[in-house]
Chains A and B, each alone.
Chain A
Amino acid sequence: MTPLVLLLLAQSPSLVSVTGYLDSRTTAAETLGDGAAGLNELVEGNVQLKLTPHERFTVQADASLFWQGAWFLHGGDRDLPQYRPMVVLSEAYVDASPQESVRLLAGKKRIVWGSGLAFNPTDLLNPPKDPTNPTFQRAGAWLGMLEFPFEKVALSAVVSGKTMQQYAGLPTALVWYPPSPSFEATLGWVPDVRDDEAHWAFMSRLYLLVADTDVTVSLAYTNLYNDAFQNKTRPGLSLSRTFGGLEVHGEALWQAGSSRVEVTDGCEVSPVQCFLRGVPLASRPFLEADWLNVNAVVGGRYYFEDGGIFSTEYFYNGDGHDPAGFQRLGTLFKQYPALVQAALGQSQDPGTPQQFAFVPLRRHYLLLSYQKPQLFDDWTVFASVLASLEDLSMQLVPQVSYEPWQWLRLTLAAYIPLPGVPEWGVTIGEDSYGEFTLSAYGTRVLFTARAFF
């Protein structure tokens, strides 16, 4: 604890707020690929701490300890790193206001400026989230922020260093890779991908409340931060407004070129031959391209008089593949999933474990969801469908929750991938796959019990 914090604690009565939950997620799944677990138990203990020693100074933290177990692994039971216990420090920061409209923040925090709920194209900082349930992702990024907040205007500037290596939820290397390779790389389990570059991002935004509309204009500069772009400047815009019971929003990010991975033509069917000939299996051919690209979301939420909420978002992913590119990528993925995952890059802190990890590969997506709370007082029904509009494959998520007491929530959900139109997806021999049926999992059933304290 810094001397400044101790001084403030000594000068004023401290106000400590502690909350959190204990959560158990049990998943039974139809497994289709190597390493997929038929039965998975994930137990999370979460603590959220808020310390307010002074009205202009707060310290906040949000940490989770996960214990995981996986059984009935496809391909035979064995130890897999992704199912080991882990600590996730989602947030830990100090937040100070030396003056009325000046804010300084340092630490790890999830900052989202865009108005999208399931998709946030302007969010270049945070770990990815599950669009069918964004609440699963709580983790932010290590950053420093200077903000000038006013009632209807805010100016913010953020500098963030990418987590290059972490242990027990704490970074052991920020911005630059550590001088020594990781333990797994030393053993040859994973490739040594270290470089000498600084991995960082600068984000700025101007927020305005104009004509009852939230307007956010942002400008991002990133260098090898959560994608392969170097020295990339990207403007963004976000809008949100309500009209009676209807909320409408839009969010867009513009950039030159794309960081998408293209599989070399022909290598998807004979990757070994490409390797032997020295032909790269995949590349990022549009990193330096100067054509204008956009990632954008438009959506809305309608609040019914009975408490129901209908929500929809259309996501245009300018970094997505055309049909031929998707056919090559999908074909390679079905044969060598680990190879493609490595090529796509797991270049960021994944944050908290997600029930549905979404990596958009195509260009057009539609999310529809409907929630009806307080059915028979304590029941909530929820259903969402995330569809790839180019092959009409989709992830369907029906869910029902029951709250017998205010401190306990029980949820039963299913994750059902539907294949869509065979001719529009990936065809390998006589088999066809849609974008949402490429995964190693078929239908999954999830039971969650969460006790709040």
Chain B
Amino acid sequence: MIAKFYESLYRIRRVEEEVAKVYPTDKIKSPVHLSIGQEAVAVGVCEALRPDDIVFITYRSHAGYIAKGGNLKAMIAELYGKVTGSAKGKGGSMHLVDVANGIMGASAVVGTTIANSIGYAYGVKLKKQNNIVVCFFGDGATDEGVFYESMNFAALKQLPIIFVCENNGYAIHTAQAKRQAVPDIAAKAAIFGMPIERLGDDVLHLYERISTAVETLRSGGTGPFFFECETYRWKEHVGPSEDYNAGYRARTEAEPWMQQDQVQKFAMRLDPQQRQQIEQAVEIEIAEAFEFAENSPFPPDAELYDGVFA
């Protein structure tokens, strides 16, 4: 299990680092909101899911997409704007999607997909399917009215859904305490009568707690469940650089998170040979994905008008 978790954590970290490295060359034709530092929540949650379970992700979606098993080649090609991308170059980094792997797409307009996720969960319940829905969103989304409307409906209809708030403390550059009269997101979910839990970014603990909720739903128990997971964004809001000199946050705030970096922690727990094998395999996978993106064509002109309607 440690090896499997490490593989996923390492894959996300390294993909994001490669994206950051390539970004200045302007080969990536899409604004990227990197999830470096936030890998743990995505992995802890998605490792508790089956391939046919459904996730709704955010515009900072690379970690969730990769952790849920999204096609890496299609993701990088999408960032490059190539026709082989997950959305044929018509979505970009903020709208990654991979329906075959249960990734229902992300929205740039914060909070929007929370409402989509409850509708999907209603469908799952109505059709008596055995899969479950997980909705990822950030602390910023909980400023939006749709968050409250959606919590209410999910609780009212006892939907088979797990809400995962990735609280990185900022909506773009504005801290939670400057935006929220009561900066306690789990408490806001609790008023709708659903079980809440506050977690950090300890991957194994996340995995255990999410797994318990998953088992409850899988065995016919009622939802929803709400998890507020504290995490931290290491890079700037959008783009490949750091921004600790910008004035809105200090590096000292990030340092405790960097010291408990889950990627490093899991690396240390593996024997060096196993670790090397995992890393080598992932490096090949990433190199192939970027090569695939590089070598893929841009969409033909006819694609502009294709797919406005189904």
A and B: interacting chains: no
